[in-house]
Each structure stands twice: as C-alpha cells, then as structure tokens.
Amino acid sequence: MNDSPSPQEIVARARDLAPRLRERSAQADGLRRVPDETVADLVAAGLTRIVQPARHGGFGMGWDVLCESSMALARGCGSQGWVANIFAEHNFLIGLFPDQAQRDVWGGNPDAVASSSFIPRGNSVEAVEDGYVLSGRWPFQSGVHHTGWSVVGELAPGAGGTREHHYFLVPARDRTIIDDWHTIGMMGTGSCSVELRKAFVPAHRTLPNALVAAGAAPGAELNTALVFRMPMIGFSQLALASVVVGIASAMTDEFTDFARDRVQQGRMRPGSEALPARLAEAAAEARAARLLVLDAARANMQKLSGRTPRRRVRGHPGAARRGPAVRGHRRAWRLCRRTFAARLPRHPGRRRPCRAELGRRRAGLREKPARAGRYETVLAPVCSAPARRWSAGGATAYSANAESHRAGAVRSENAPAAPCGSGGRA
C-alpha cells in the first residue's frame, strides 16, 4: 500500500497511545474488558493491521515491529496492551487461511479483528458435507467483546480414524459469549469463554495445524510479505513475551519515581538502603529482556529475508526458537520479584500510589498486613486457590511463608505459566 506508515511511525503511534491506555486502566478493570474508546484508537492508529495482509488493507510488516509496538502499549496498561497484541497476531493467522476465508473476514471491513482459543478442549467436531459442525465451549477469548470472529482450535476427524488439530474460523453470529472472566490480574482483557451450538464451519474456514507447522498454509502462497513465511510455533511467542516485558519496564519506572519522591521528601526509613541496588538490577533486567526479545525477532526476520524456505528456517541456529521468548519473559518476571519484594515502611490508612496503580492495573497485588513496628513487603499474593498463586503480567509465582515475606524473599516454583487470556499459549 502506498499510504502505509513506516515501522518507526507505527511504534511512535503506540508510544503516543500508551498514556491514554493508562488513563483508562481503571475503566478497563471495572468493565472487565477493553473500553470501546481504546479499540477505536487502536483501529484508527492502524495497530491492529501491523501484520495483516496488504491485499486486505494491512501493512504486512515484520514481527519485530509488532513486538516493539506491543512493548510500548503495555507500558500504558498491561490488559489493553495484551488485547492489542492479540488482535494484531490473529490478523496474521487469518492471513494463513484460504483466500475465501480472508475475504469473508475483511471483504466488507478491513478493520475486522478476531479472538481465539487455540488449544483443543475435547469439544464436539462432526465432519459433514463441505465442512464441520462444532459444539462446545472455548475459554480465554481475549478481547472477544470487540471481535466479529473467533478462531477456535479442536481435534477434527482425519483419515484412518485419526484426529488432527485444526483451526476453525467462526463468525460472531454463531457464538455465545459466556461472562466468566472474573480475575484480579489482567482483569481488563475480557477473556471470556465462547459457546458454539451446532455451528457449521465451511471447509474454506478451516486450517490444519499441520500445514501451518510445515509452512504450507494456503494463505502463505497468496500473501507475499516475509512475515507469512515464518514458522508460527516458536516464533510468534516473541510478541506475547513483549507484552510482559513492557509491563515490567513500566513497573520499574513507576517504582523508581515512587522511591525518588520518598528520598526527596526525606521519608526513607532505616532498612531501605538496599533499594537503589534493587532498582538498578531491575532496570538492567528490563533492558536485557527488551533487547533479547527484539534482537531475536529482528534476527528471525532477517533470516526470512534471505528467502530461506519456511520449513527450513527452524533448523537455522537461533531462528524461530522458544528460548528468547521464554528467557525474556523470565527476566521480566524476576525483576518484578526482586524489586517489589523490597521492604518499605507502611503508612497505616494510606494506600501507596505506586502499589495502587501497579496492583490494580497489572499484577493483582495488595498490601500484606504488617505487624506493629515492622516493615511490610510490597509484594503479596492475592488469590483464593489452595496453591496461593498470583498472576503478574502473565508470570506465575508461589508465595513463601510470612517470615520469607518479611525477609523480602519470594519463592518461585516451576516454569512461568501461560498468561491469562493466552488461550493456553506459552
């Protein structure tokens, strides 16, 4: 497209929009979904069309542009940044479907977006003439209230009695949204379930996952942008990791401002001398995570520009691996743990501005009651599950006992889980 913005302009638009997302963060939490005004802003800025096929009004840019813009948006609000990333990612996926499916989605509206739940749930899939009939529920459809389509993953009957993983593209008129998204962390994503009742999906709106993994998706032959040659598994996770990195960077900046104000006002208490070191370490982790994710995305796009066949990219050293996305995610998680386990004095009856902002909008944290004369930890779990798990921008950690909290330590366990609203993707 002749009027397509440059990658730098797209990232600049995302940065300019971030303050507005922050202003609407409380509104998003109250609605338990992204505000209509935010979706309108994302569409107007073209941020949902970053990796959409140019044939259908998109920009067909590289995955690295999506990663960088997602980091910028997530600095304003993790929930809204998450949904913006999801909308853009799904437009890439729809670009892999057969041509008629793409025309169904964008033929009358190039700004159309979709929600998804990729992981098979054991729901009913019946093969019929010219398509399939689906029934069941699919959870974690982030941003579903604003989408005209849903992509659901399920095992479909295959040759010889086997069952194969397929993606099914379903219009909004055939689904029912179930209001079951009641969380603390990432509450503004509106990741509700959808229910299908004997919904017919024509064959041209189905996409076998095997074709996507093999680099033989029908849409990849039609859309010539480099991004449509990338292997989806192991590559696309960099975009979701970018949201977590953006959240962590914003948390570090806000906590730095909070601590600076306390120093200038002479309100730091004994025992806070280690705080500058914690902040310096957290800032370095945030920077390292950002560079790791963006470098991996750019390196992979460069390999694609060498015209390496999609099915061979995965064999190249450093290309399309989960490692950079996972390491970037873990760095972001560690910096949150280290910074916000710092002990600070508690002021009875007064909520800390930093804690209120970060807890409400991003991490689902709350103050842990402190004994008289004690310092409290900024980080405390909020949950009702027996495992006492808390979700902070997609990272999962397990709380230690009260003594460990007072010592400023938070114990982690297992690998970080898939973020809320990811449809099971890690």
CATH number at residue 120: 2.40.110.10
Can you tell me the mean pLDDT for 393-398? 29
Higher pLDDT, 355 or 67: 67
Provide the residue range defining the domain that includes 69: 7-110
Distance CA 207, CA 165 (A): 9
Distance CA 130, CA 127 (A): 8
Residues 247 and 290 both lie in one domain = yes
Residues 181 and 284 both lie in one domain = no
Looking at 81, 110, 139, which one is the last position of a domain?
A: 110
The number of CA neighbours under 13 Å toward the Cβ of 247 is 36
Q: How much is the pLDDT for 324?
A: 56
Residues 162 and 190 both lie in one domain = yes
420 part of a folded domain = no
421 part of a folded domain = no
What is the pairing mode between strands 192-202 and 131-141? Answer: antiparallel
Q: How much is the pLDDT for 134?
A: 98
Count of Cβ atoms closer than 10 Å to residue 309 Cβ? 9
Q: How much is the pLDDT for 216?
A: 85
**pLDDT tens readout for residues 290-341:** 999 999 999 989 888 874 444 444 443 334 455 555 555 566 656 565 555 5
Least confident of 45-49, 265-269, 294-298, 387-391: 387-391
Q: How much is the pLDDT for 268?
A: 64
Distance CA 230, CA 312 (A): 10
Looking at 110, 142, 177, which one is the last position of a domain?
A: 110
Distance CA 314, CA 229 (A): 11
14 part of a folded domain = yes
Count of Cβ atoms closer than 10 Å to residue 109 Cβ? 11
Q: How much is the pLDDT for 336?
A: 60
272 part of a folded domain = yes
Q: How much is the pLDDT for 270?
A: 55
Check whether 405 has a pLDDT greater than 50.
no
Q: How much is the pLDDT for 10?
A: 98
188 part of a folded domain = yes
Check whether 188 has a pLDDT greater than 70.
yes
Burial state string for 380-398 with b = 16 or more CB within 10 A and e = fewer than 16: bbbeeeeeebbbbbbbbbe
Pick from 246, 276, 417: nearest CA to 339: 276
- Say how many domains are in the chain: 3
Residues 263 and 353 both lie in one domain = yes
Strands (E), 107-254: 114-117, 124-128, 131-141, 149-157, 163-171, 175-178, 192-202, 206-208
**pLDDT tens readout for residues 238-291:** 999 999 999 999 988 888 888 777 766 666 665 566 777 788 888 888 899 999
- 54: domain CATH number is 1.10.540.10
Q: How much is the pLDDT for 374?
A: 30
Can you tell me the mean pLDDT for 28-36? 96
* 136 three-class SS: strand
Q: How much is the pLDDT for 359?
A: 43
**Amino acid symbol at 307:** R
Residue 181 and residue 191 in contact, taking contact as beta carbons nearer than 8 Å = yes
Q: How much is the pLDDT for 214?
A: 79
Distance CA 89, CA 83 (A): 10
Higher pLDDT, 283 or 357: 283
224 part of a folded domain = no
Distance CA 184, CA 193 (A): 17
Least confident of 108-117, 320-329, 355-364, 394-403: 394-403
Least confident of 142-151, 177-186, 262-271, 314-323: 314-323
Count of Cβ atoms closer than 10 Å to residue 312 Cβ? 12
Which phi-psi region, left, alpha or beta, contains residue 408 (left: φ > 0; alpha: ψ -120 to 50)? left
- What residues form DSSP beta bridges with 150? 115, 170
Check whether 93 has a pLDDT greater than 50.
yes
Residues 141 and 196 both lie in one domain = yes
**pLDDT tens readout for residues 273-284:** 677 778 888 888
The number of CA neighbours under 13 Å toward the Cβ of 148 is 13
Output the average pLDDT for the chain.
Answer: 77
Residues 245 and 355 both lie in one domain = yes
Residues 186 and 320 both lie in one domain = no
Residue 191 pLDDT grade (very low, low, confident, very high; cuts 50, 70, 90): very high
418 part of a folded domain = no
Name the helix (H) or strand (E) containing 392.
strand 389-392
331 part of a folded domain = yes
**pLDDT tens readout for residues 219-240:** 999 998 999 988 877 788 899 9
